[in-house]
Structure 1
Amino acid sequence: MSGISASLTKWFSERPQWLQIAATRLLQQSELTDKDVSELANLCQQEADGKLPKTTYSFPATAFSQGAAGSLRLCSISDVEGVNALAPKKPLEFGKGNITIVYGNNGSGKSGYVRLLKHVCGARETGTLHRNVYKPGAAAQKACISFEQDGVPKTHTWSGQGICDDLNSVDIFDTSFGKVFVSSEDEVSYEPPVLSFFSSLILACEKVASALDTEANRHQSKKPNIPADKKVTPEGIWYEAISAKTSTQDIDKHCAFGSAVETEMQTLQQRLAEQAPAEKAKQLRKQKQHIDTLVQDAQKYLEQLSDENYRRIIAAKKKSILKKAAADTAAEKVFSGSELEGIGSDVWKELWEAARNYSVSAAYKEAEYPNVSDGSRCVLCHQTLTEEAKERLISFESFVKGEIQKAATDAAKEYDTASQTIEALPTSETLKTRIDAAGIPQDEVASQVTDFFAQLQARKDLLPGIDSEEVIPDPLLSPKWIEEANAQSKSLGELAAKYDEDAKSDNREENKKTLHSLQARKWLAEHRAAIDEEVTRLKLLNQLKAAKKSADTTALSRKKGELAEALITDAFVQRFNAELKALGASRVKVDLVKSKVSKGRVLHKLQLRGASQSGLADVLSEGENRIVSIAAFLADVTGRTYPAPFVFDDPISSLDQNFEEAVVQRLCAIASERQVVIFTHRLSLLATVQDYAKKVSIKPEIVCIREEPWGTGEPGNTPLQAQKPLQALNTLINIELPKAKKLFNESGFDGYKSEAKAICSEFRILLERMVEYELMSDVVQRYRRAINTMGKISNLAKISEADCKYFDDLMTKYSRYEHSQPAEVPVMLPEPGSSSFQVGSLRSSLPRIR
């Protein structure tokens, strides 16, 4: 076995990492728990994902050595409820011996006990275990099984489900099991430790695979169905082909859907809906022109009211003020002696300039102003100018045309020119009209436009009151709506160009395809989260699939098959042939061959030797089928090295006398090594077992079960016909007669009559058996084929005429009670204890007869 361990170490080193871990655990414990399976499933996933560290595991040389065999025996079945019609009040005891016969008539509960044991012990063909079909709503199924394991008493309470691991080595043969062997392939139940290890490991793989399937089933697809009209688009085709290999970049590419794409989609919808594209192009360009004009005006006003222009106007204003102040000071000096106030003021200067204009344009066209020639008059009052008046006018003109005054005048003009650079802003009504003409909806953007122009007006209104750059308000920035309006203007221009193109060529079908594609992309964008989730799910399923692939049992099954060739198949065939010979069935030409290995199970089948037809059930007789199935069963279970109990349910059904005796002889031989429990309804089998058990010095236990009003399976006294004559006679004398006497004393003859007649009938039957066992010295029996002559036939010579007459008289007397009686002289039943009841006299005569 050390060589096997070494080769397996190398073989397992080439297996998946998680499987090596599972093998190591199975070497340390008899079976894997649910927690182990869950952990192994996780390790299997990790390895499939490349996240499980690589480690090498070895197997100890003693890993598969076979330890000392233990012992097991069934003791009793009790507390049965809900199983067929079984309702025993007393336990079914199997006794202390190695062979137990459970005898009962049909319907007494034998099959119910066997079916129960099949479920508790985990037989291959358990069948359905029904409750009492005649009692609807019966109690839940349960039973208590008592047994000894290695001499230690144990009990198992069965609650309708599961098996008792301690009892799974109990082998049960019944008709259904025989069909398994003869009619189909089956697995040898005995396995050397190394094969048992492989079976456990294969089971672990199946459980891990099942756990992975369960995990995969938890992740059902939530991928929404794309509308049918979008499936034919490139985006729809991509969506339908999403797989675990779909990358994030690919998803980003197909699910990208921003405002530009939304605008493009809406534009296409509009273009397809437009019936007059050329006229639409004109409307769009006109709308574009209004937008451009509005933007240009906004930018123009923004520039006019800029800080730079503000500073230029304020500078001109400050200069004008300074120059004017200088001129006013000079004027004050010039006009200090004037008779009137305000000479030299701005109002006066306006009057002076008005007088100048009148003089040079009307009164004195040819003369310079002021005209101070002889006879000239004042252009304002038309009075002739005096010399004093002429001098005053000349001094006024000199002041007005002086440098200081000229500078003040120029500064005032400069300020006025600068102020005129800020044009009048449109009124709110005018602005609304222009916004509408630009196609700007009355929403947030329109409010932004209105608010911006209101800010421009407010900034303009502040300018006249500002005399210093330090109090200039914060500048107005170019508003966001201008950028959006420019983009809208560009879009309108491009759209107009597309409408022009639509007007020139027929491209509607192409536009429709493009629109559907964009609509599909929008749908993809709306379901982006579901797409990401689906790709993640598919990647996980791929991982689980890869993990499950590593849980495939093919390699394990193949390896187990290789080991089974040498470790089990040849030995099993030899045992089968030996069993056929022991059962006297060598003439039945059948071979047992290995057919295949499936998931680590080594399967065998029976086939006719040298025949073209392989169906045993169609060729062999019912009895031959039965004996072959028994041989296969015994070859299977006797391969075990520990003494597990055997349970047989009517093993001799359909067998002739030869096969019946051969089977009984084989069972008695097996009972010398382990416990054998036989359920039967045939007295012939009971007698044959007693006979052969005696030859191997085994005392069989006989248990009788019967049907009672409360149910079947009730253990009771062994019937007289199943007892040996002396035992039966003692039963009549010590049990039945006292019972009858009590009835006679308490109830009189009427209560006693039926019991007395039954005793007479039993005694008559017993007399027949006495003839066989005692008078004829057990040389021949009705239920036995063999004739015992050794040491017995000489006793026949001792039979006297008196002995014959004695038995003849008893048979005559007690046969009368079995027949109808004449009304005139009826034969009265003997009273208990009377001399006419001669049951006791027979016991006293036995020594003389022997």
Structure 2
Amino acid sequence: MNNTESTLTKWFSERPQWLQVAATRLLQQSELAAQDISELATLCRQEADGKLAKPSCSFPASAFSQGVAGTLRLCSISDVEGVNALAPKKPLEFGNGNITIVYGNNGSGKSGYVRLLKHICGARETGTLHPNVYKPGSPVQKACITFEQDGIQKSHTWSGQGICDELNSVDVFDTSFGKVFVGSEDEVSYEPPVLSFFSSLIIACEKVASALDSEATQLKSKKPNIPADKKVTPEGIWFESLSAKVTTQDIEKYCTFSTSDDAEMQTLQQRLAEQAPAEKARQLRKQKQHMEILLQDAQKYLEQLSEENFKRIIAAKKKSILKKTAADASAEKVFSGSELEGIGSDVWKELWEAARNYSVSIAYQGVDYPNVSGGSRCVLCHQTLTDESKNRLISFESFVKGEMQKAATDAAKDYETASQSIELLPTSETLKTRIDAAGIAQDEFANQVTEFFTQLQARKDQLSVVDSEEATPDPLQTPQWIEQVQCQSNNLGELAAKYDEDAKGDNREDIKKKLNSLQARKWLSEHRAAINEELKRLKILNQIQKAKKSTNTRALSQKKGELAEALITDAFVQRFNSELRALGASQVKVELVKSKVSKGRVLHKLQLQGASQNGLSEVLSEGESRIVSIAAFLADVTGKTNQAPFVFDDPISSLDQTYEEAVVQRLIELSEDKQVIVFTHRLSLLGTIKHFAEKKSIKIDVVSIRSAGWGTGEPAPIPLSQSDIKSALNTLMNQRYQDAKKASENGEFEHAEILLKSMCSDFRTLVERSIENDLLCGVVQRFQRPVHTLKIKDLVKLKDTDCNLLDSLMTKYSGFEHSQPAESPLELPEPGDLMADMTSLKSWREEYVKRLA
């Protein structure tokens, strides 16, 4: 390949990513479907918007390369999954010779193998490789292909996409090769695959551009019309100049209308409607003052009924009760001998204090109470005091002035003082008056205020029933309405200030502008969905226009012209003419001639020699068109410098016997230098290849494939009934046993079980054949007519031990050849036991054949 084409991969890597994806798809299928064009148009737009991820499939580095010089041969295909109906359990081996015939009936899997090779090797027209359409689901596609390159064994695991670079030089011929002949009105043209590929890519670009135009046409504007008086606002000017450059921040700025905006709009409307702004400001401040009073009361009562104050009052109450209890106990002790009940009680103490006040202030002024001097009288009953009465009064006074009583009295005073620290809460009528004065509407908000004061009163009432700090109820939390009222109070102050401004100067025009701007923003917020749709449309249009620039075909046409000069040579024309002669098609009057490059279309064309018109498709028969296609294919293949194999899929279709023999002889000639693999279902082709190969002493490999219950493409080995017992037994022991052992060691237990069952079945067949051929000396054999009576004399060497050995083996393994009841499934022998039985049969056969009769 020349320097120009060797840089093709680099050139493609510099093209738009969507175009690389299109190129990759065209390498895998003959043409792009409508779905492909739609997807490529989407990728083109995404790339223009900078949102296209790196393609998962890149342009193959050797899509059109001829490969490097050297030897290459295909060895086998195995582990096929998800490819048509192919499900072979054994590898498809291509043999050791240079020409291999893969024979199979229709539906045996030949086309599936050819399609798989086209994908792995990167053929020109790979087509779509479908999974088994009769099985649900989409299994993963994969296969393993082994090959030999310059004498070195290699393998490649294909995973559903991409090609094996080391096999890109393998050429595959099937019916799709005829598609390189491009028809256009009255001429049939031939382009080398790389140029035909560029032509298809140019068409793809044009279709993508058309799809983008169609998409742009369908994008109709649904932009609403903003009211005329709103167009002069900043918001209206922004709306009228919407473009694809508008950002999310712009949308938020111009199309967001909050509750605070709505409140401001209403305020502006009220300010414009107000005829006495100074009086309005005074009213607002008065309303603010009532709000502040309400807030102060709430904060005051919250503090008075705080947890700390609540506990302090309860503690004072508790102390008062304890001190009184102690004083009462002391009084009980002092007055236990009194003739009257209740001496020392609270009622008595009040009486005592009243008597004291009367004595010191009126009856005996200036004399300490009680007056027990000579001739003194009781201030209550006015009887002259006896010595006993005087002593009793003195003891009563000592008790009243004692420490315990004093402590009880002091504690009672402290409790009273603490209780009086909580002021009386406003009544419901007073509270309603304050709420109305603060301008709080009688709604849920006002209910929250009322409920809060009700909770305060309930908390205060609890002071009379709670006796310990531990029983203190949970404190009240600051209600949310306090913050809201505070916010309203602040707003009232600000609004009053604005009314003051309105009263001082003429600012109505500014208010109108601001109001109009807010109204415009409200309108935009109401039509935000439509604005978003319009912006989405504008961005898509902008994206489409940007994307269309990358569909320009000028670079593709220029590159195709450069490649045409490098690839279309006289040598290629001469090889084509030589192949026509070698295939016995000289009478087909066609010639391959150069043609000018015109808009990336025809570069080389096939035309009828000496005919007035170039109607090849109307003049040539199907067979002639087929032989011309083969000639063009061979002209291309033989121009390469490597010794890569090529694959034919039923090459003699539509050919008569003369052309068939010519093609076969050409294939035999090519097999002298490179590997040739032919897939066919025709026995005539198989016989013809054998015939001409024998003439040249060339050994051919014949592989048979068949359709099995699990799928197609299964290699069909020679039946055991016709195989050599010794070779078959060695295969079981040295190959298939090792495969089963390896599967078991790798944890593939189900696969190992299948292999063991198959081995047991085949071993049982070999035991039966050994009875026929060895034990019975071949006297009677299945599938053979004669009875070898002369061998009967050799039966004298037969012993009981021989019969017992073979009978035991037959008994042990018959179950693997005959159906068994599901209720008692047959257990597989241990792999070691199976190997021991096979070894015993082998040893017995070797000894028996040497035993003398």
Q: TM-score, normalised to structure 2's length?
A: 0.48
Higher alpha-carbon Rg: 1
